[in-house]
Amino acid sequence: MATFVLEIGSEELPSRFLAPEEEELRTRFVAALSEAGLEHGAVRVMSTPRRAVLLVEDLNPVQSEKEEVIAGPPARVAYGPDGSPTKALEGFARTHGLSVADVFRLETEKGAYVAVRKRTGGAAARDLLAQICPAVITALPFAKRMRWGAHALAYARPIRWILALLDAEVVPFSLGPVSSGRETCGHRVHGPGPFSVEHAGAYLKTVSDLCAVTLDPALRRAAIVEGGDAQAARCGGRVLWRDNLLDEVQGLVEHPVPLLADFDPAYLEVPREVLLTSMESHQKSFGIEGADGKLMPHFLTVLNLTPEDMDVVKHGWERVLRARLDDARFFWRADLRENFDVWLAKLDHVIFIGALGSMGDKTRRLEALCRWLAQRCAPRTGADLTEDAARAGRLSKADLVSGMVGEFDTLQGVMGGIYAERKGESPAVAEALKEQYLPAGPDSPLPASPVGALLSLADKADTLAGCFGLDMIPTGAADPNGLRRCALGIIRILLDFGFDLDVRELFARARELYGQREWKLPPDESLDKLMEFFAARLRNYFMSQGQDTLLVDAALNAGAAQPPDCGARLAALTAFSREAGYAEAVQTFKRVANIVRKQAVAEELPERWDAALLREAPEKALAETLDALLPRLDALWSAGDHGAALATLREVRPVVDAFFDGVMVMCEDAALRRNRLAMLQALGSRFARLADFAALQL
């Protein structure tokens, strides 16, 4: 068995390109090897900013061989009346490079055919790899591709070299101006090369020793963490590692060297969040925290070389960060001299979304909507949050016109909360301002405070109602205003806090607060489309939690306007589906639901059946059962005990089945028919609140 190595050397790729490139290279190459019939062992893919590497172990140097039977024309067509071969037979044999003598008769279920046995495979892996490599490389997808010079080849960055070795042999192919070979290039300073690799098995050692490159991303990450922790410990601190930044930083270097540097302690007057943003976003560096949990005047950065004079490099990094911290301190001090009234006035000149007015308009709507929400959700919050919620709504966007957010836009909301604390607002308002944009995605943290949750709900509902009113509805590929994220945020908050809130009412109220505008969609149509969109997001959320599709649809069809209740019904339905008798109960009540749905369209049914019209014993038994059961179902519904309500299906099903077996529901007597349907409707409507049984396909 052989070892194959492919290295694609290029100009430095952005860090965010590396992980997707590794996955695509692995997936596409494994698929190509399988399609080519090349047996192989482990496949490893690693990358640095300047190279993507694929290693294939235990590769069969020869394509696996197999024999296949290829059927041709029917025997009656292949041979003439005298048994001589026809032109059809001769053409079939010629097509496969065989003679008529190689053809044999094949009996099948459809009759007799002629066929040939053909052996395939046996090609050299080197020749097949020469075709696979350029096909895979040119097909790799990137967020952005480029061409260079006069070449038609497109890649993320210009390709400078390609190493392709099958053991000691070069796998020959060309891509644009570059031909494959056995040479690799190393670190630009510590091992520029080029270096010749005599055997694929020697590649990793060559890259590590001569090229001075740490090829494995996991090893680069480990080296950064180990070295950073050691340096931070020497100054009595610990590194504030952030996984996404750590992933980015390891993707920026081939030769990682952690470096601990300092900044003037006077900058610690600036809020921690601002200092960390300056370090992380602009310098790709990490903050250092002391044992007391406070930020220390140090930061950790990662170099891509071992410098001759570490102090010179250290001072250079400190000088660059100092300029950023000077800006941050200037904006901090300037913003502290301002007040919210000044910022609120400026918001009237900041556009929200096109025809939806200014940010000032939005904050006035949020003030009213937060007040409405606080009153609606008061039973759940257990406190009167009306004034805090309204104040948070009004101040929610004020920091957008602050100097600090103008410089560090990722701190919007966070700075609003910090300034609120400094300017005398209540702790609840300050916390809500910090949390207003949460959650920012499916895995983002949720607001921790009830006022923060109410403000986030109001903000997202206002955006959704306004955009749908203007018919700015997301398409399959485009969602420029983040409306899917808004809907998901509302779902997650409602489920987490358990607010007893009708989302349709929330959206309707949000729309009303816009006042008179030139909408593209009338209120009812806009609201219907928004609820359809919201229900689809809720469905996706439940599906992402691993819920059964049929159960999710059954629960949603019974009502999606109150996500906590919908989630509770889904949980009860899921538990019920695991119990004995579930399938039989579903079949019975699907029948009830279908009969009532169909007949309710044809004729008006009474709200209550007439006991005087009961004729048969089964219908009298059903009426007696319903007299006892319906009040209990209503009480269970009010208490939210959906599991107990579904459990009654087992006790009532035998009575309903006996009713269907012993009574002609759709009889010709209109009065009897409506009376019997009224009983089914009374029962079906109770269970329809729990689930749409017609959606359960068993």
**What would the pLDDT profile of 655-672 be if each residue is shown by its tens digit?**
989 988 888 888 888 888
For residue 8, pLDDT over 80 is answered with yes
Record: fold of 568-695 = Isoleucyl-tRNA Synthetase; Domain 1 (1.10.730)
For residue 441, pLDDT over 70 is answered with yes
Dihedral of CA atoms 175, 179, 183, 186 in degrees, nearest 10, equals -30
Record: fold of 343-520 = Hypothetical protein af1432 (1.10.3210)
For residue 527, pLDDT over 70 is answered with yes
593 alpha-carbon distance from chain centroid:
36
For residue 76, pLDDT over 80 is answered with yes
The stretch 145-174 carries a mean pLDDT of 92
| 29 Cβ contact partners less than 8 Å away, ≥ 6 residues apart | 6, 43, 54, 56, 132, 136
Average pLDDT score, the chain: 91
Query: For the chain, what percent of residues have pLDDT higher than 70?
Result: 99
For residue 610, what pLDDT is reported? 85
CA distance 302 to 252: 9
Kindly tell me the burial class for residue 197, based on how many C-beta atoms sit within 10 Å of its own C-beta (0-12, 13-18, 19 or more). Answer: buried
Best CA proximity match to 690, nearest among 575, 531, 518: 575
The stretch 541-545 carries a mean pLDDT of 94
The stretch 282-310 carries a mean pLDDT of 94
Given a contact cutoff of 8 angstroms between Cβ atoms, the answer to whether 374 and 385 are in contact is yes
- Dump the DSSP string for 619-646: HHHHHHHHHHHHHHHHHHHHHT-HHHHH
For residue 88, what pLDDT is reported? 83
pLDDT top residue among 165 and 93: 165
Quick: pLDDT tens for 225-270.
999 999 999 999 999 999 999 999 999 999 999 999 999 999 999 9
The full set of domain ranges for the chain reads: 2-62+124-210, 70-120, 217-337, 343-520, 568-695
For residue 517, what pLDDT is reported? 87
Indicate the SS3 state at residue 56. strand
Indicate the SS3 state at residue 546. coil
Helices and strands per DSSP (H, E), number in the chain: 27, 16
For residue 66, pLDDT over 80 is answered with no
For residue 698, pLDDT over 70 is answered with no
For residue 601, what pLDDT is reported? 67
CA distance 253 to 224: 10
Lowest-confidence pick of 112-126, 155-169, 183-197: 112-126
**E strand or H helix at 287, and its extent?**
strand 286-290
CA distance 587 to 197: 70
pLDDT top residue among 90 and 366: 366
| Confidence class for position 216, pLDDT limits 50, 70, 90 | very high
CA distance 661 to 160: 81
Kindly tell me the burial class for residue 199, based on how many C-beta atoms sit within 10 Å of its own C-beta (0-12, 13-18, 19 or more). Answer: middle
- Dump the DSSP string for 177-220: TEEEESEE---TTT----EE-SSGGGHHHIIIIIS-----HHHH
Query: For the chain, what percent of residues have pLDDT higher than 90?
Result: 69
Helices (H), 64-207: 75-78, 87-95, 125-139, 203-205
Indicate the SS3 state at residue 260. strand
pLDDT top residue among 50 and 86: 50
For residue 204, pLDDT over 90 is answered with yes
The stretch 289-300 carries a mean pLDDT of 95
Quick: pLDDT tens for 109-140.
888 888 888 776 678 888 899 999 999 999 99
Quick: pLDDT tens for 669-693.
888 888 888 888 888 888 889 998 8
* The residue type at 640: G
- Dump the DSSP string for 550-607: HHHHHHHHT--S-HHHHHHHHHHHHHHHTSTTHHHHHHHHHHHHHHHHHHHHHS---S
For residue 477, pLDDT over 80 is answered with no
Quick: pLDDT tens for 375-398.
999 877 777 899 999 999 999 999
For residue 91, what pLDDT is reported? 86
CA distance 625 to 630: 8
For residue 455, pLDDT over 70 is answered with yes
Count other Cβ atoms within 10 Å, centred on residue 34. 11
Distances (CA, A) of 384 to 177, 377, 380: 72, 9, 10
Q: What is the 3-state secondary structure (H, E, C) of 472-530?
A: CCCCCCCCCCCHHHHHHHHHHHHHHHCCCCCHHHHHHHHHHCCCCCCCCCCHHHHHHHH
For residue 695, pLDDT over 70 is answered with yes
For residue 101, what pLDDT is reported? 82
